[in-house]
Structure 1
Amino acid sequence: MRKLRNTLYITKELCYLFRDGTNVVIKEDNKELGRFPIHVLEDIVCFNYNGASPSLIRLCNENQVGISFVSPQGNFQGRFIGKTNGNVLLRRQQYRIADEEDKSLEYAKLMILAKTSNYRKILKRIITDHSNKIDKVKVIKSIDNLEEDIDLIKKSASLDSLRGMEGDSARTYFSCFNDLILQQREEFIFKGRSKRPPLDNVNAMLSFGYTILTNEIQSALETVGLDSYVGFFHTDRPGRASLALDLIEELRGYLVDRFVLRLINNNIINHKMFEYKENDTVLMNEGGREVFLKNWQLRKQEKIKHPFLEENMEIGLLPYVQSQLLARTIRGDLKKYPPFLM
C-alpha cells in the first residue's frame, strides 16, 4: 500500500516560498518560518499572494510534487502539475469512454449511487446516535426519499436525467443538514447550500473543504496516470478538473461533511474564525483556516478498513486508492468500478 505523505498548506497571506537545496523554505518579511525536505511532501497548497520562486517550482517538478494556488478566500486559482505518470494508452481509453455517453453513464451512475447512499447513511447515523435531539420525522422522510432516488438513479437512461436526480438527492440531504448540527446552533445555522458565494459559516466551511478535497483528488488522478480534466459525469469546460469533480461526489459526504460537523459539534471551531463581507459573503479567516487544516491533517491520518480492498489504510489515501481503482477499471483489470461506500 502506498504511504501517506504530507501536504504543506501555506495559510499566511504574505508568505513567499523558495528553494534551498532540496528544502522548501517559507519566509515572511525576510524571516524564515519553516523549511521542509521535498521528499516528505505530496503537495503544496498556497493561500498566499506572493507565490513561489521558479527554482522551487523546478524542485517540485523534479520530485512530482504538485503546487496549487488558492486565494485567501478559498477560491481555486490554478495548479502546477509538473511531470506526471500519464500512460498514453490509459488516457486514450479514458477519452474514448468520455466520448460515448453510454459508457460514461456506467461510471457516473456508480459514483452518484455511492454519493446518495453515503448521504442516506449519514442521516441514518444521526437517528441512531441522536434521535432525541433532532426532528426525527423529517429526517426519516428524507431517508425514504433518498432510497427512492437510489432506485431512480439505477434506472437513469441518460447523463442529463442522472444530473437531475443527483440535484434532487442533494437538495433532500441538505434540507436536513441543519439537524446534524448539535452544538453552537445559533452561530452555525444552515438554511441551505450556498456556493458562490457562501452565505453562512457552515457553507464557508463546506466550500473550503470541497476545494481542498478536489485538489487532493486531482493530484491523485494525475499520479495514477489519468487526465483529471476529462470526466464522465461533469461536462468538459476549460480549466475545470471534471474527473476530479466526478470522483469527489462519492467522497464529499464521508470526508468533508462529517468533518465539518465534527469541528462544529466538538466546539473545535467557533464564529470568531470567520469574516463577514458587506455583500453577505462569509469566509473563514486565517485563524479559521489554520484550525481547519490542522485538524484535516489529523483526520487524514486516522485508519479505516477499505470496503472493497478490505485493507487497513489511512483515510488520507482514499483519493489515491479510488483513483487507482478507477484507472484499473478503465484499463480493463476490473469489470466494474467500485465506488467508495461508507
Structure 2
Amino acid sequence: MGKTRYITSIGELTRKDNSICFRNNNKNIYIPVENTREIYCLNEVSINSKLLDFLSKNNIVIHFFNYYGGYSGTFYPKEYLISGKLTVKQAQVYLDHRLLIAKAIVNGIRENIIEVLMHYYKHGKTEIKEILDYLKVNSLNNLENAADIKQILSVEGEIWQKFYSSFQYILKEDFVFNKRVKRPPDNPLNAMISFGNSILYSKTVTSIYHTHLNQSISFLHEPSEGRFSLSLDLCEVFKPIVTFKTIFELVNNRKINVNKHFEKNLNYCLLNDEGKKIFISALEKRLESVSDHPKLKRKVSVNTLIKLDGYKLIKFIMEGKPFKPYSLKDGM
C-alpha cells in the first residue's frame, strides 16, 4: 500500500534525481518514491512544479495543513482510475437511493460509538449505561423513522452529542469537554479532535483516489463545489475507532499532557510540535493495526478497511449489493 510521510518542520520539498528530498536547516532527508503513498505537510513547506509533476507521475498524494492543524487542501494527481460508467451510476444512485446510503453511514457511526463505549462500560464506567441505552434504542428508532436528509443529519448530530456527553466519565480530570468547537479549537480535547479528524479525512481522500469512485458525489454530506464530500461520508464511521480511541488512549495513559503538549492563547488551543508527534505516532499505530477480516479470511489494517468501504459502495452502485460500512462489532 505504501507509507505515509509526515513533515512537521519548516523547509523545502524538492525532487532529487528519482527521490523526494526534504531540506531543513541545511540538511537533506531523502524520501523514497517506491513505497510512499502520501505526504503530510504540517508546517510551512516550499514546493515547486517539478516536484508536483514527479509526485503526479508516481500517484503520490500530498496534503497540506494550516497553522491551526486544520486541513487546508490536497495536491491530487491526475486520476488514473477513471470510470465514466461508474460516475453516471453513482450520480443515479444519489438521486434514487441517497437516504438509504446516508442512513447506513449514520448507523455505522452509531454502532461504532456503542462498541467504543461498551469497552468502558465493561470496565466499570457504569455511569454511561443511560447513554448506551439511548444509542441502542432511541437513536436507532429515530434513524429508521427519518424521512429526509435533514432529519438524518439531525439524528447524526444527536448521536455525536450523546457520545460527547460520555467524556466526563471516560477521560482524566485534566481534559474537560464543554462543547465541540472547530475553527479554531478552544481547548486540548477540541484541538486533538480537529487534528485527528483532519488526518482521517485526508487519509480517506487518498483511499478513494485509489478507487474508481467520484469524490464529489456524496450521500450524507451535500455534494458541493471545492471539496471531496464523499471522503467526508466514508471517514465518519471511522472517527470513533480512530480519532477518539487514539485520544482516549493518550489521555488515560497520560501520554499527552495539558501543560506540556499544547499551545494556548485566549482565542485558540493547538497541539504543539511535540504534541503533534505524539498524536501522529499513536494515530498511525491505530491505522496500521490489523484484525481478522471474516470474509477475506486474512488480517487487514484499518487503512485497508477504509478503502474496502469504498469497494462496498462500488458494489452497491454497480451490483445493488447491500452497503454496510465497517462495524467494529461485526469485524467487517
Q: Any idea what the Cα deviations from partners look like across 1:67-105, whole Å, max 9, x if unmatched?
A: 11111321221111112212111112112222x1x5111
- For structure 2, the residue ranges without an aligned partner over 5 or more in a row are none
Matches within 5 A, 1:149-228: 149-181=139-171, 183=172, 185-186=173-174, 188-228=175-215
Q: Any idea what the Cα deviations from partners look like across 1:286-306, whole Å, max 9, x if unmatched?
A: 111111112222222221123
1:276 maps to 264
CA contact (8 A) 1:206 1:257 kept: yes
CA contact (8 A) 1:307 1:341 kept: no
Partner residue of 1:31 out of 27, 47, 51:
27
Matches within 5 A, 1:114-153: 114-129=108-123, 131=124, 134=125, 136-137=126-127, 139-147=128-136, 148-153=138-143
The one-letter amino acid of 2:116's match is I
2:60 maps to 65
CA distance in 2, matches of 1:295, 1:16: 26
CA root-mean-square deviation: 1.6
CA distance in 2, matches of 1:9, 1:276: 23
1:90 maps to 86
The one-letter amino acid of 1:341's match is S
1:103 maps to 97
Question: Alpha carbons of 1:165 and 1:310: their partners in 2 closer, same or farther (altered >3 Å)?
Answer: farther
CA distance in 2, matches of 1:201, 1:81: 31
Displacement of 1:238 after TM fit? Answer: 2.3
CA distance in 1, matches of 2:146, 2:219: 15
CA distance in 1, matches of 2:168, 2:85: 46
TM-score computed with the length of structure 2 as normaliser:
0.93
Question: Alpha carbons of 1:180 and 1:86: their partners in 2 closer, same or farther (altered >3 Å)?
Answer: farther
The one-letter amino acid of 1:62's match is K
Matched, 1:79 2:74: yes
CA distance in 2, matches of 1:266, 1:178: 16
Question: Alpha carbons of 1:86 and 1:59: their partners in 2 closer, same or farther (altered >3 Å)?
Answer: same
- For structure 1, the residue ranges without an aligned partner over 5 or more in a row are none
1:337 maps to 323
Displacement of 1:309 after TM fit? Answer: 4.2
Identity %: 26
Displacement of 1:308 after TM fit? Answer: 5.4
Matches within 5 A, 1:316-335: 316-332=303-319, 335=321
1:9 maps to 6
TM-score computed with the length of structure 1 as normaliser:
0.90
Displacement of 1:192 after TM fit? Answer: 2.5
Task: Give every structure 1 segment of 4 or more consecutive aligned residues whose post-TM-superposition deviation is greater than 6 Å.
Answer: none
